[in-house]
């Protein structure tokens, strides 16, 4: 069976990473969470003393070559993001870092730097990558492209539950507002706005269980590796 690249794009909190991880496990492929990479760059800007300037984004851009991002496979099969060797997996998941990530992700130099790193990660195929521009910019020739979507309310509820599970005390209205703000930013930025690739398969999972959705995606995957 041939090895392929699976590109998964979609709005924030629509379950992309859950699906991508499930599919990677099923296929025996490597999973790459590109949102985590943008979050790591945001965390770098928030914490590196050299970015505490009147123009933090400008400082960040000049320091990009010093940012090393890798994924470390854990014993339980999950991946943790290492920022310059430090495991920042749990720190990059906060609402604050997510919101900063949507400020740094429109920056052209940041995108160029991370897209190149992502293309290197997929050079040998056998990869499931999720993000916003995977099927359109990072791997426009991916053999399988999925575009996931769900209503803003369903996505806000999912993110709310995730934050509660992590011990944060979110307010639902704030989370919904954040989802809407991010959707707007993701779809309206000049650099690689979120949009469906013409050849992507759309999956609206507002009313699908994880298992139902997985079944649909496995069928699509099995067909794609046979073609």
- Nearer Cβ to ligand DC (51/148): 148
- Nearer Cβ to ligand DC (184/222): 184
Q: How many CB atoms lie within 10 A of CB 28?
A: 8
Give the Cα separation of 127 and 118 in Å (integer). 11
The region that residue 77 occupies, defined by phi over 0 for left and psi between -120 and 50 for alpha, beta otherwise, is: left
Q: How many CB atoms lie within 10 A of CB 104?
A: 23
- Nearer Cβ to ligand DC (122/131): 131
- Nearer Cβ to ligand DC (27/132): 132
Question: What's the min distance (Å) between Cβ of 101 and ligand DC?
Answer: 4
Question: What's the min distance (Å) between Cβ of 12 and ligand DC?
Answer: 4
33-67 CB burial, b ≥16 within 10 A, e <16: bbbbbbbbbbbbbbebeebeeeebeebbbeeeeeb
Binding site for ligand DC (CB under 6 A): 12, 34-35, 38-39, 98, 101-102, 105, 131-133, 182, 186
Question: What's the min distance (Å) between Cβ of 27 and ligand DC?
Answer: 20
Question: What's the min distance (Å) between Cβ of 41 and ligand DC?
Answer: 9
Question: What's the min distance (Å) between Cβ of 131 and ligand DC?
Answer: 2
Question: What's the min distance (Å) between Cβ of 51 and ligand DC?
Answer: 18
DSSP code, position 191:
S
- Nearer Cβ to ligand DC (30/225): 30
Question: What's the min distance (Å) between Cβ of 68 and ligand DC?
Answer: 18
- Nearer Cβ to ligand DC (35/122): 35
**182 token code pair:** 């991010």
- Nearer Cβ to ligand DC (106/225): 106
Give the Cα separation of 4 and 194 in Å (integer). 22
Helix (H, G, I), strand (E, B) or coil at 220: helix
DSSP code, position 137:
I
Give the Cα separation of 38 and 104 in Å (integer). 7
**158 token code pair:** 């999912």
Give the Cα separation of 198 and 54 in Å (integer). 41
């Amino acid at each position: 069976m041939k090895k392929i690249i699976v590109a998964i794009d979609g709005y924030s909190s629509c379950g992309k990473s859950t699906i991508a991880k499930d599919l990677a496990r099923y296929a025996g492929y490597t999973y790459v969470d590109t949102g985590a990479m943008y979050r790591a760059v945001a965390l770098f800007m928030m914490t590196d003393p050299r970015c505490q300037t009147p123009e933090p984004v400008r400082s960040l851009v000049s320091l990009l070559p010093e940012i090393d991002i890798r994924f470390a496979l854990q014993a339980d099969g999950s991946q943790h993001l290492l920022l310059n060797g430090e495991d920042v997996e749990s720190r990059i998941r906060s609402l604050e870092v997510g919101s900063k990530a949507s400020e740094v992700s429109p920056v052209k130099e940041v995108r160029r730097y991370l897209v190149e790193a992502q293309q290197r990660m997929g050079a040998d195929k056998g990869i499931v990558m999720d993000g916003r521009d995977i099927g359109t910019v990072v791997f426009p020739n991916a053999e399988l492209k999925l575009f996931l979507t769900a209503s803003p309310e369903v996505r806000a509820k999912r993110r709310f539950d995730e934050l509660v599970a992590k011990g944060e005390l979110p307010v639902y209205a704030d989370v919904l507002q954040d989802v809407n703000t991010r959707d707007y930013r993701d779809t309206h930025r000049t650099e690689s706005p979120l949009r469906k690739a013409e050849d992507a398969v759309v999956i609206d999972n507002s009313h699908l269980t994880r298992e139902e959705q997985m079944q649909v995606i496995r069928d699509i995957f099995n067909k794609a590796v046979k073609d």
